[in-house]
Structure 1
Amino acid sequence: MADQTQTERMAAGRGFIAALDQSGGSTPKALKLYGVDEDEYSGDAEMFDLIHRMRERIITSPAFGSDRILAAILFEQTMDRDVVGTPSATYLWNDKGVVPFLKIDKGLSDAEHGVQLMKPIPDLDDLLDRATAKGIFGTKERSVIGAADAAGIEAIVAQQFDVAAQVLSHGLVPILEPEVTVTIPDKADAEAILLDRIGSRLDGIPDGQQVMLKISIPTVPNLYRPLIEHPKVMRVVALSGGYSRDEADELLAQNTGLIASFSRALTEGLSAKQSDDEFNATLDASIQAIYEASTAGA
């Protein structure tokens, strides 16, 4: 069962979620933005060592703490590694007061009906058991909507809720992430369909259990307010979706009760070549801006 202190923090705390869950496919880009080019490492092992060092630098920074950050989403390899000699999830909660989540999806299938479903997640029960043993509070699962196709969006939502049921059966809190691509011309229509399909399934969540939702910042401000207020929803969070941090913060602030779960926007401006003082100051400014956008009108 989810820790009650962590549950109360996630349900009612002021702040946002730091997404530190770049996986194999997105890691080279994340490192490049961090100032580490592909010719500076050889093979996946060195690549993952470098991205872990970046994450460790972020997590251990004095700017990174429970005063503004509610939770952090970890990549599986990050969960399995240590931060300054302590298992990552344990360090986050015990040393920082930040609730640990785990990304569980294994990437996207090819597009069909305008959407990309999650690839199968082999041995998910074993992964959820390991996550529970390591002190993980919840999970995150991402799929992508690329068109306002009702059949495709229905398939996305069905898969998201099926996986969420498996996560809930392990006593963990799932974050469902049906991301709508922010550049598509029919984004508002896709979001209206998504809202309807999610709403139709929430009442099926067993009594005493809740899910979280991670969505693209909607075209129509406060579109997702009914989900934020739904008793089966612990929290609704937003991804930055390719917007710059300033754009994402501005759009987020227009949505009451919606908080950030930013990845690239959080690390924007950070560099491996910065001194610790420069790095911490840049991260602090980023965290403060995202915090303010997440708590605007709350």
Structure 2
Amino acid sequence: MNQSQFEKIKNGKGFIAALDQSGGSTPKALAAYGISEDAFSNEAEMFELVHKMRTRIITSPAFDSKYILGAILFEQTMDSKIEGMYTADYLAEKKGIVPFLKVDKGLAEEANGVQLMKPITDLDETLKRANERHIFGTKMRSVIKEANLEGIKAVVEQQFEIGKQIIAAGLVPIIEPEVDIHSPEKEKCEELLKAEILRHLNNLSENENVMLKVTIPTKTNLYKELIDHPQVVRVVALSGGYSTDVANQKLKENDGLIASFSRALSQDLNHDQTDEEFNAALEKAVQSIYEASI
């Protein structure tokens, strides 16, 4: 593991940019960027367009390590190049930003009020490639919709089980059990989730480190105990469908919680903007998310 990257993620000021929309969410991300589905006729063309979008974000002067600690990439982005360098190397060497990789294969059907992750059948191979591509850590997402203890236990168990496999490969897993912001039982879900996460954290050995990615909690500072846990490198928050302004306001109220926003980072970016307009819009988003994170 890269020790200086570890120190940056653990103690640095800033936030983590989520640039990891995958096959299912890519058309939506492109549409929000002003590229409609009739602009591509197959998956390869779609991914080429989204890589151009991500390249434009990453190479922008606004995408700056003064404010951004890390960036989460989709597998196809990891295997693509920016200015002749693999994306993770470009991020680390040219930008001083720590690269992460999304490793999950999407969500299973809902059961017991949650969506577990689909099986990650090629995880060992993916982790091997992640190491070759100089990736620091990984991210994987499940979703909780109801305060169903059995479902929440299953989510956390699956996350930590796979997390240990990732730790064994020398990477730091971001464990992401998202609580749906529209759940009528959101606060109760979060209380059950916190207790389950804490139980699993207390069973980790002192050389097993994880990160957590959570929905901004309804109860302010609910996750402070997780943030302060010795086995937790950092706790980051997803925007979860909140607008940038709302997400930033909620984030500011929680001590030690930093952003890992996707939509809230890119919501004002458009394919048709001039470079000047694009960079100004990205800089505004970056600054506001940074301010909320510190």
Give TM class, smaller chain. over 0.9
Partner of 1:224: 223
The alignment covers a number of residue pairs equal to: 294
How far apart are the structure 1 equivalents of 2:84 and 2:270? 23
Using the TM superposition, give the Cα deviation of residue 206 of structure 1 relative to its aligned residue in structure 2, in angstroms.
Answer: 2.0
Partner of 1:33: 32
Partner of 2:271: 272
Instruction: List alignment gaps of at least 5 residues for structure 2.
Output: none
Partner of 1:136: 135
Partner of 1:19: 18
What secondary structure does 2:237 align onto? strand
Q: Deviations over 1:195-221 (max 9, x none)?
A: 000001102222222100000000001
Using the TM superposition, give the Cα deviation of residue 38 of structure 1 relative to its aligned residue in structure 2, in angstroms.
Answer: 0.6
Instruction: List alignment gaps of at least 5 residues for structure 1.
Output: none
What secondary structure does 1:192 align onto? helix
Report the more deviating stretch, 199-208 or 129-138: 199-208
Partner of 1:124: 123
How far apart are the structure 2 equivalents of 1:177 and 1:171? 19
Q: Any residues of structure 2 matched to 1:33-72 within 5 Å, and which?
A: 33-72=32-71
How far apart are the structure 2 equivalents of 1:140 and 1:106? 11
1:184 and 2:168 are equivalent in the alignment: no
Percent identity reads: 57
- Aligned amino acid, residue 193 of structure 1: L
How far apart are the structure 1 equivalents of 2:166 and 2:207? 14
Partner of 1:160: 159
Partner of 2:244: 245
Q: TM-score, normalised by structure 1?
A: 0.98
How far apart are the structure 1 equivalents of 2:240 and 2:24? 16
How far apart are the structure 1 equivalents of 2:69 and 2:204? 24
Partner of 2:104: 105
How far apart are the structure 1 equivalents of 2:118 and 2:203? 24
Using the TM superposition, give the Cα deviation of residue 65 of structure 1 relative to its aligned residue in structure 2, in angstroms.
Answer: 1.4
How far apart are the structure 1 equivalents of 2:156 and 2:241? 22
How far apart are the structure 2 equivalents of 1:200 and 1:48? 39
Q: TM-score, normalised by structure 2?
A: 0.99
How far apart are the structure 2 equivalents of 1:70 and 1:149? 35
Partner of 2:8: 9
What secondary structure does 2:120 align onto? coil
Report the more deviating stretch, 160-169 or 206-215: 206-215
After TM superposition, the runs of 4+ consecutive aligned structure 1 residues lying more than 2 A away are none
Q: Deviations over 1:218-269 (max 9, x none)?
A: 0001000000000000000000000000000000000000000000100011
What secondary structure does 1:287 align onto? helix
